Amino acid sequence: MSQLAQLKILIADDHFLVRQFVRNTLQEAKVTNIQTAADGNEAIDLVQKAKDVKQPYDIVFLDWNMPTISGLEVLNYFRTRPEYAETAFVMLTAESEQQNIMKAIKAGATSYIIKPVSPGDLSKKLSELNEWLKRKRQKNA
């Protein structure tokens, strides 16, 4: 089993087609454990429940503009909690202004992907995130 196949991933985006595109791309990269959330509240609930049952997400993709709670607010929420330090939070958003990218990076985003993204670029990013996770875990082991 490849290391990518072992990843647990959450895709939080209010657009169904974006969730499907990201899910399909990840599945082509052999990732099988994928959940989705349609808004920020649902994302927070799922991430906390996964941690509570000792099966935390490895990577959380967050859209910036979602109903109820924005992806940036979700990011801020989890980055103030040290128990989520080994979770990669990735902004996957159409927000392409430099100031927004900097705001997300300062808030603790592991990576930032501007939509639209190609399957190839998303797969490449997935490999980079997997390397980030490995380094994090080795450091904290």
pTM: 0.96
Radius of gyration of the chain (CA): 14
pLDDT tens-place values along the chain, 141 residues long: 468 889 999 999 999 999 999 999 999 999 999 999 999 999 999 999 999 999 999 999 999 999 999 999 999 999 999 999 999 999 999 999 999 999 999 999 999 999 999 999 999 999 999 999 999 888 877
Those residues with Cβ within 8 angstroms of residue 41's Cβ, 6 or more apart along the chain or in another chain: 68, 69
Sequence spans of domains, the chain: 4-140
CATH number of 4-140: 3.40.50.2300
Q: Which residues pair with 10 in a beta bridge?
A: 35, 60
What SS3 string covers 37-86? ECCHHHHHHHHHHHHHCCCCCCEEEECCCCCCCCHHHHHHHHHCCHHHCC
Report the distance separating Cα 137 and Cα 93, nearest Å: 27
